[in-house]
């Protein structure tokens, strides 16, 4: 089954993220993008499977940070330019 992505925006710091609809425990991640236009383009490519996720194709992404949350760790990636 294909894991679809959606766009979310953090109201507190205005960061825009792409998030997979399903997350595996211990492998939670988000993809941070600089602006909404880039988010929409990346969303289209990820959902059409033109690009793969950071877990499937780590050479396309760089790890920005790892956030510790109540539910566990979340890795924040960005697409390499």
pTM score, two decimals?
Answer: 0.91
22-37 mean pLDDT: 91
State pLDDT tens for residues 35-45.
Answer: 999 999 999 99
Residue 1 burial (C-beta neighbours within 10 Å; 0-12, 13-18, 19+) = exposed
User: 25-29, 57-61, 69-73: which has the highest mean pLDDT?
Assistant: 57-61
């Amino acid at each position: 089954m294909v894991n679809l992505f959606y766009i979310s925006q953090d109201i507190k710091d205005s960061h825009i993220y792409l998030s997979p609809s399903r997350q595996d425990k211990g492998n939670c991640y988000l993809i941070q993008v600089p602006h909404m236009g880039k988010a929409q383009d990346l969303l289209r490519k990820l959902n059409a499977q033109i690009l793969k996720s950071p877990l499937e194709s780590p050479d396309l992404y760089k790890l920005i940070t790892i956030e510790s949350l109540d539910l566990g760790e979340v890795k924040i990636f960005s697409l390499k330019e």
